[in-house]
C-alpha cells in the first residue's frame, strides 16, 4: 500500500478491524500500516489531528455513524478524506445507499482481499468506484422513479368556439373537397371572402388546414348539409 494516504480502519470492534487488516495483508504479503478506531466519536477525534486527510476503510456498522449523513459530516471535518465503505450484505441497493451518503466506493463485506486492495488504490488516487451491483441498483431505482413520477399535467383541451351559419356552410363544402372558387360560386360570395371564413374556421377549431378543420369540427348533421345545398346566394 505504498504511496497511499495513511490508512484508517474503522469498525465496531478491534477484532473486526484486525480481520480486515489480515485480509489485506494476505493480499499484499505484509501487514499494511494502518490505524484502528472503533467508534464514530473516536474517528472524529482522530481525524481532527490527521493532516493530510487519510484513506478510510469504513465498516458500515460502525457504532455512532448516522446512516443518512455521517460520512458527509466526516468530509466536512476532514477535507480530502477518501472513504471506502463496506456494506453488510451483497445487496447493490445498500452499496448505492453508501455511495449516496458520501462514500467514494462501496463494497460488500464478502469482497475478496484482492478487490478491496485494488479499490483502496483506486480511491487513494482520487477516483471513485461503483460496483456492477450498485450500477444495477441505480438503474432499477431510476426506472422505478420514472414510473412513479406523476405525469406532467397537460393543458385542458381548448373548447371549440361555435361556428357561424356561414362557416358551417363553408365547412360542408370543404367536406366535399371543393375549391375556394367553387365554394364562393355556390354561396354567391367572392373567393377572398371564402378565405376569410376559412381563417375563422381554422382559428376556432385550432386546425392548420382543411383536413384538420374537417376532423376537429363537429360531425356534419343533415341540417348542415341541407343548409349548404339550400343557402341563398347572398353576400356574407
Under the banding of pLDDT at 50, 70 and 90, the label for residue 231 is very low
Residues 6+ apart with CB under 8 A from 224: 168, 169, 171, 172
pLDDT of 28 > 60? The answer is: no
| CA distances, 65 to each of 85, 105, 111, 142, 169 (Å) | 12, 17, 22, 27, 78
Whether 57 and 18 have beta carbons less than 8 Å apart is answered as no
62-112 pLDDT, tens digit per residue, is 766 665 567 877 887 888 899 998 888 888 888 888 888 888 999 888 888
Most confident among 14-23, 140-149, 224-233 (mean pLDDT): 14-23
Predicted structure pTM score: 0.56
162-177 pLDDT, tens digit per residue, is 889 999 899 889 888 8
Residue 166's pLDDT is what?
A: 92
Give the chain's end-to-end CA distance (angstroms, integer). 93
DSSP, collapsed to helix, strand or coil, labels residue 155 as coil
Sign of CA dihedral 27, 31, 34, 39: positive
According to DSSP, residue 26 is labeled: H
Q: What is the DSSP string of 152-172?
A: PPPPPPPPPPPPPHHHHHHHH
According to DSSP, residue 84 is labeled: E
Under the banding of pLDDT at 50, 70 and 90, the label for residue 17 is confident
Examine residue 147 and say whether the peptide bond preceding it is cis (omega within 30 degrees of 0). no
166-223 pLDDT, tens digit per residue, is 998 998 898 888 889 999 999 999 999 999 999 888 888 888 888 778 777 755 434 4
Amino acid at each position: 500500500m505504498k504511496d497511499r494516504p495513511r490508512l484508517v480502519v474503522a469498525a465496531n470492534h478491534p477484532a473486526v478491524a484486525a480481520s480486515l487488516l489480515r485480509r489485506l495483508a494476505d493480499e499484499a504479503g505484509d501487514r499494511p500500516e494502518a490505524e484502528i478506531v472503533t467508534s464514530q466519536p473516536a474517528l472524529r477525534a482522530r481525524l481532527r489531528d490527521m493532516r493530510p486527510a487519510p484513506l478510510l476503510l469504513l465498516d458500515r456498522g460502525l457504532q455512532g455513524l448516522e446512516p443518512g449523513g455521517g460520512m458527509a459530516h466526516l468530509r466536512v471535518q476532514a477535507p480530502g478524506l477518501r472513504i471506502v465503505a463496506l456494506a453488510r450484505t451483497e445487496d447493490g441497493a445498500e452499496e448505492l445507499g453508501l455511495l449516496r451518503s458520501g462514500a467514494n466506493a462501496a463494497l460488500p463485506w464478502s469482497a475478496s482481499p484482492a478487490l478491496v486492495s485494488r479499490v483502496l488504490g483506486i480511491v487513494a488516487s482520487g477516483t471513485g468506484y461503483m460496483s456492477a451491483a450498485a450500477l444495477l441498483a441505480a438503474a432499477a431505482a431510476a426506472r422505478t422513479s420514472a414510473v412513479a413520477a406523476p405525469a406532467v399535467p397537460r393543458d385542458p383541451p381548448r373548447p371549440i368556439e361555435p361556428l357561424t351559419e356561414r362557416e358551417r356552410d363553408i365547412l360542408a363544402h370543404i367536406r366535399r373537397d371543393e375549391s375556394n372558387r367553387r365554394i364562393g360560386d355556390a354561396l354567391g360570395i367572392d373567393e377572398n371572402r371564402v378565405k376569410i371564413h376559412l381563417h375563422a374556421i381554422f382559428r376556432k377549431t385550432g386546425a392548420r388546414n382543411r383536413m384538420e378543420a374537417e376532423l376537429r369540427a363537429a360531425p356534419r348533421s343533415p341540417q348542415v348539409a341541407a343548409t349548404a345545398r339550400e343557402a341563398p346566394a347572398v353576400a356574407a
